[in-house]
Amino acid sequence: QVQLLESGGGLVQTGESLTLSCEASGRAFRIIAMTWFRQPPGKEREYVADIAWEDDGALYSDSVKGRFTISKDIVNNKGYLQMNNLNPDDTAIYYCNVATSIPRTGVFWGQGTQVTVFS
Helix, strand or coil for residue 88?
A: helix
List pLDDT tens digits, range 19-55: 999 999 999 899 999 999 999 999 999 999 999 999 8
Q: What would the mean pLDDT of 71-95 be, rounded to a whole number?
A: 97
Of 26, 3, 39, the residue nearest 113 (C-alpha): 39
- Per DSSP, what are the bridge partners of residue 26? 2
Distance, in Å, from the CA atom of 22 to the CA atom of 4, rounded to the nearest integer, reads 6
Dist. CA 33–CA 2, nearest whole Å: 13
| Summary mean pLDDT of the chain | 96
Give the ranges where 1-119 is alpha helix by DSSP (H): none
